[in-house]
Structure 1
Amino acid sequence: MEASPNTPVSRTSRYRRCPTAKPLVALTPIKRKLLRFLVECRVLSLPQLISLGQLSPKGTRRQMRQLFDAGLVEVVAVSRAALAPEDAPADETLLYGSAPNLYVPTTAAVRALVELGIVDSRYLGHGYPTYSPKNGLFLRHELLVRDVRVWLEGMASQEVGKTLRWEDGTGAALELGEKLTLKPDAWFVFEITQKERPLVLVGLVEVDRGTERGKTRWAEKLTRYHALFSSDKLLEHTGYKNARVLVLCPDDARRERLAALIAELAGDERLAGKFWLITVPALNQTGLHDPQWQVVGQTSLRTLL
């Protein structure tokens, strides 16, 4: 019996798995790649996965849908307003529509990649946060942190280097002793390819959206960074003696104000010089040799190397 032309065509639910989907899916190289990034980063948006996987939007959506139906990823339901860009008009348009798909890995995905030897078993003990429409406002900050990982992998795809380690969330916490803990948003170790010998960049990531007033938060951070850089704790946690604090700011005005605030609070020029600031738009367009970074205590923009 043919369906009537007036019979509505059922659509696949965005947040519910297809009941007819196969319970198992072949973990092809591209699926393994997407899952690895997701397990390492805990949460990623569709645009970020498009960049990391170097696929078309349609191709990425298809891969992620298959992983979702197979129970290897979850799709986070978030309102459009939660992830609207800073310059979006504050009007009724934010009430309609939804944000780009956001994905988190399931325990089954982590277990599968560990068994395949793609990720270390330590990821089995990682806490993967639960996001929902009720706490979706935290996601804008979280995704900005992951933009740094996308930036690193963009350079890796150009054979500039490779990411040796990435830690975010609770995994990024650095114990300093005496009940003192430094909690950057993330930190990484990136090996830079050179003819003579590779260089290693250790970056401690801080995302500043300019939403907090006053000096308290940054005063506390500077105290902890001083404790980190005046001890051997950086070497203990990362395996390296030197690092830079890379701070993402929403715009040039905030970058300049924050640089002045850090210079004031640091007191020590050596500590202040560890902080390199950049705007989010500039990060998405810069490489290692583009002068887009403001070093605290200096006036002209610098290249990262």
Structure 2
Amino acid sequence: MSPYEIILTVVFGSQFTIGVLGNSFLIYFFTITILTGQRMRVINMILIQLSWANFLMIVSKSIPHTMAAVNLKNLMNDHGCKILFYLNRVSRGLSLSMTCLMSSFQAITISPSSSKWEELKDKAPKYLIPTCSLCWIFHLLLNILVLEKIEGPKMSRNISNILPYGYCSTSAATTVSASLFIAMVSFPDVVCVGLMVFTSGYMVLLLYRHHKQVQHIRMTKLSPRASPETRVTQSILLLVSTFVSFYSLNSILAAYIHLRRPRAWLVHSSAFLAACFPAFSPFVLISTDSQVLRYCSTP
């Protein structure tokens, strides 16, 4: 193996290990909570689906690119590439949708009683399961479109109409058709990101106002610890900024890969960025979720 292949193997292998461990723990925790009959928070229904989506995305992204890095991509055929690519696209869309849904649900939950969202507070839990089901159906159907031109890896360098994805390839389309395809599949993502940024900003504003209202009560306390409102605000900002940063960089690279013939390092960079949020977001959730922290601290 060359030094380049060793670096890729270590990077994707580490990302795979971290992501699988973090998401597996959350899946285990929420499953145990359900099976033991403990009080189930409504938002846990979103978190367990988010954990599964992140887990599937890590598996469908890191393993194939690790195989490609060590020149084992010949083990993949057309059907294997279609399955992995479809699984990756569906899990990616679900990860985005569930993150957006979680942010929206939290914004509705903590909104003051005098706000316009007061009527949604009681109805939101009832609409949660149908909304999650629609998200699954939507992404399962939408991403069928990407399967038509997905093929196995092409070894010949003389084929000019093939775009490589490390372990798979796709027939290159014209600039106009590629742009239309990117716009079509990206529109739901843009809507979700915009909604997530809006609801997260709304929550930060609410928490800031609440912190100002109760600040005079805490003036007499000389505790160096941050207030609960500050810690929640920081966790929301961390999740949103991390997601938007990784998503934006990966979207730019993905669009470039669709429109131009990319180099191998650019393909691997896009794959690494795509799997960063699902790999590290579980640890953000674990460190900020009081229910999970109590479970971890229980002997």
TM-score (norm: length of structure 2): 0.24
* The structure with more helix, counted as a fraction of residues: 2
TM-score (norm: length of structure 1): 0.23
Higher relative contact order (CA 8 A, sep 6+): 2
